[in-house]
């Protein structure tokens, strides 16, 4: 018998203009305790937000991904899954689940800790884009891309350790629905605007220039089409970007979560009150939380 613990962090992707490119890992996550017993059968239990809606058999996403890699080895595995990531809220729950599934499958297949580079490649294929994948595997602030040798990830520097303020609406927004809201074509000016904003954002974070971060989180590629999907979200983002102590402001991933940086460690959730009011005035309840940047990324530990 052997036991493993696998942990994959949540992430906020895009950060405004970095559509399908930028991601930052945060301190929510999914933890899988994996026990291999040659004499036992497959078993799974799941805890956390939305877990009561998930299957309790090998059709569970994490088990399904693991089985695609490990095959019959899953027949002798017990999984205890604990998640702190709200599902379908734009905080990388899919990427974290896929990462745990890939890592579990490789552990079951090889009986050793997996190569993070292989997990990243497989995860990016499953996700279809590398932004959440890069942040989830490596931790911190990352840029993902695709080149001749496959998916790529590049660490990006943040001058300080800002926290993130997150407004998490109670209404889920499935990624597929958010993707379908996007147009098939964009104007040259929109693309140029986003490229300039992304460069400004990366430079601002590297230099601790928060005025540049404010400018650099502007987007014309995805947010204008996704914000109207949730009542009050457009007004809430505008209010969040004007809030004292909040720098930048973006739709996290596909949404509907809104996020911004809190450079001052003394800033609390009260700065989001006007943004919360905008959501509630439209009938959208939300949760507010402050998140830390996760610097560790995917963790796979052999317990026995």
Amino acid 40: pLDDT? 74
Amino acid 1: pLDDT? 63
pLDDT for residue 118 is more than 90: yes
Encode pLDDT of 79-103 as tens digits.
999 999 999 999 999 999 999 999 9
Beta strands in 111-202 (DSSP E): 141-147, 150-156, 163-169
* 134 exposure class (CB count in 10 Å sphere: 0-12, 13-18, 19+): buried
- Greater confidence, 32 or 39? 32
Mean pLDDT calculated for residue range 24-39 = 92
Mean pLDDT calculated for residue range 170-183 = 93
How far the first Cα of the chain sits from its last, in Å, is: 8
CA–CA distance, 12 with 255 (Å, rounded to integer): 9
Percent of the chain exceeding pLDDT 90 equals: 90
Mean pLDDT calculated for residue range 28-52 = 89
Instruction: Using DSSP, state whether 124 is helix, strand or coil.
Output: helix
CA–CA distance, 291 with 47 (Å, rounded to integer): 21
CA–CA distance, 139 with 63 (Å, rounded to integer): 23
Q: Which of the given ranges, 145-149, 157-161, 198-202, has the highest pLDDT on average?
A: 198-202
Mean pLDDT of the chain: 95
On whether the 2-156+294-302 domain is CATH 3.30.230.10, my answer is yes
Q: What is the longest distance spanned by two Cα atoms in the chain?
A: 62
Amino acid 304: pLDDT? 79
Amino acid 282: pLDDT? 97
Amino acid 13: pLDDT? 97
pLDDT for residue 245 is more than 90: yes
pLDDT for residue 148 is more than 90: no
Amino acid 249: pLDDT? 97
* Residues 165/262, Cβ–Cβ less than 8 Å: yes
Cα 248 to Cα 109, 198, 251, 302: the distances in Å are 43, 12, 11, 40
Encode pLDDT of 263-283 as tens digits.
999 999 999 999 999 999 999
CA–CA distance, 206 with 192 (Å, rounded to integer): 21
> Which 8-state DSSP code applies to residue 129?
S
∠ Cα 279 283 286 (to 5°): 50
CA–CA distance, 296 with 126 (Å, rounded to integer): 22
pLDDT-based confidence at 38, cuts 50/70/90?
low
- For the domain covering 163-291, report its CATH number: 3.30.70.890
| Residue 276: how many other CB atoms lie within 10 Å | 21
Cis status of the peptide bond prior to 256, with omega within 30 of 0: yes
Specify the range with the lowest mean pLDDT, choosing from 29-43, 95-109, 156-170.
Answer: 29-43
Could you state, in order of their start, the residue ranges of all structural domains in the chain?
2-156+294-302, 163-291
Encode pLDDT of 203-235 as tens digits.
999 999 999 999 999 999 999 999 999 999 999
Mean pLDDT calculated for residue range 111-131 = 96
């Amino acid at each position: 018998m052997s036991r493993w613990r696998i942990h994959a962090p949540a992430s906020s992707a895009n950060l405004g203009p970095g559509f399908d490119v930028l991601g930052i890992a945060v301190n929510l996550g999914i933890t899988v305790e994996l026990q291999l017993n040659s004499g036992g059968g497959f078993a799974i239990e799941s805890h956390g937000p939305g877990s009561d809606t998930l299957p309790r058999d090998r059709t569970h996403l994490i088990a399904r991904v693991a089985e695609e890699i490990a095959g019959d080895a899953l027949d002798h595995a017990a999984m205890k899954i604990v998640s702190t990531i709200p599902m379908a809220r734009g905080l990388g729950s899919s990427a974290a689940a896929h990462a745990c599934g890939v890592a579990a499958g490789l552990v079951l297949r090889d009986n050793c800790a997996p190569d993070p580079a292989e997990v990243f490649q497989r995860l990016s294929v499953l996700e279809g884009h590398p932004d959440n994948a890069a942040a989830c595997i490596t931790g911190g602030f990352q840029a993902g891309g695709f080149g001749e040798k496959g998916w790529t990830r590049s660490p990006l520097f943040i001058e300080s350790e800002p926290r993130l303020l997150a407004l998490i609406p109670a209404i889920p927004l499935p990624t597929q629905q958010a993707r379908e809201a996007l147009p098939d074509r964009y104007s040259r000016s929109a693309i140029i605007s986003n490229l300039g904003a992304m460069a400004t954002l990366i430079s601002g974070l590297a230099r601790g220039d928060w005025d540049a971060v404010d400018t650099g989180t502007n987007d014309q590629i995805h947010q204008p089409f996704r914000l109207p999907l949730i009542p009050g979200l457009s007004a809430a983002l505008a209010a969040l970007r004007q809030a004292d102590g909040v720098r930048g402001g973006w739709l996290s991933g596909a949404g509907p979560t809104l996020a911004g940086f809190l450079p001052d460690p003394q800033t609390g959730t009260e700065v989001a009150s006007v943004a919360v009011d905008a959501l509630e005035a439209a009938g959208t309840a939300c949760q507010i939380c402050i998140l830390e940047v996760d610097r560790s990324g995917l963790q796979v530990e052999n317990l026995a």
